[in-house]
């Protein structure tokens, strides 16, 4: 995962538009550990399943996030944008 983190860090140093990560919590955790994620966009869908995968993998230290924006879509999905603190 270190090689991937190095590649993402290189992409972030380049001029251009923002990067968008889509993937599982393990990928996000690895990039978070390297300080490479600036914003988290989380969509909450109004469905109760009674189980599922955790949104974040367990961490040894607390991850500080600040709510920067939230909106409700027509489908009742709530989308929140958090900045890393």
Instruction: Give the pLDDT of residue 54.
Output: 78
How confident is the model over 12-61, as pLDDT tens digits?
Answer: 999 988 888 887 778 888 888 888 999 999 988 888 888 877 778 888 88
Residue ranges and CATH numbers for the domains of the chain are 2-84 (3.40.430.10)
Q: Name the band, by pLDDT with cuts 50, 70 and 90, for residue 1.
A: low
Q: Is the pTM of this model over 0.75?
A: yes
Helix boundaries (H) for the chain:
2-13, 25-33
Dihedral over Cα of 65, 26, 28, 55: its sign: negative
> Residues 37, 21: contact at Cβ < 8 Å?
yes
How confident is the model over 54-74, as pLDDT tens digits?
Answer: 778 888 888 899 999 999 998
């Amino acid at each position: 995962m270190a090689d991937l983190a190095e590649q993402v860090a290189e992409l972030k140093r380049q001029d251009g538009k923002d990067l968008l990560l889509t993937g599982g919590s393990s990928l996000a955790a690895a990039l978070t550990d390297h300080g490479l994620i600036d914003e988290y966009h989380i969509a909450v869908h109004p469905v109760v399943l009674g189980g599922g995968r955790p949104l974040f993998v367990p961490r040894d230290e607390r991850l500080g996030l600040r709510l920067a924006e939230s909106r409700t879509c027509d489908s009742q999905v709530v989308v929140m944008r958090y900045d890393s603190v």
